[in-house]
Amino acid sequence: MIRYLPFLIEIALLVYCLIDCIQTDVPRNLSKTTWVFVIILLPVVGGIAWLVAGRPEHRPRRNVPWPTTQTAGFPEYERPRRSSPDDDPEFLAGMRSSDDKHEQMLKDWEAQLRDREHKLQADEPRDPA
């Protein structure tokens, strides 16, 4: 098992440096393609060179790792607060006007149904039997 330890360390260094180089946006000193070839062709020396001279000095931090939603990536206690619809007067006024509109539609519909029923009853022939 001890015989394989240097080989395992070499492979781990190669894989780590290769993945790190590929994920880096702008490496230092050389182009990304050149760094990939150096890391692959000179596994130990290339990996150490990447760690010393190729990695960017710092990685830019993103505020939100997944920008698909407004609150993604924030812990619960740091999420931006939004007011509840119950607290928003504009929302409540819109709900009331919507309710009034629906009530009026319902009254109109009921009146139309009553008119149809009266028409049907007036047009219906009376059976004397």
CB 28, CB 54: distance < 8 Å: yes
Per-residue pLDDT of the chain (129 residues; tens, 9 = 90+): 788 888 999 999 999 999 988 888 888 888 889 999 999 999 889 999 988 988 887 655 555 555 555 555 656 666 666 666 667 778 777 777 777 888 899 999 999 999 999 998 888 776 665
Any idea what the Cα angle at residue 56 is, between residues 51 and 60, rounded to 5°?
Answer: 135
- Cα diameter, the chain: 112
> How far apart, in whole angstroms, are the C-alpha atoms of residue 59 and residue 16?
16
Could you give phi then psi for residue 125, rounded to 5 degrees?
-70, 140
Q: Which of 34, 39, 42, 37 is nearest to 50 (CA)?
A: 39
What pLDDT is stored for residue 110 in this prediction? 96
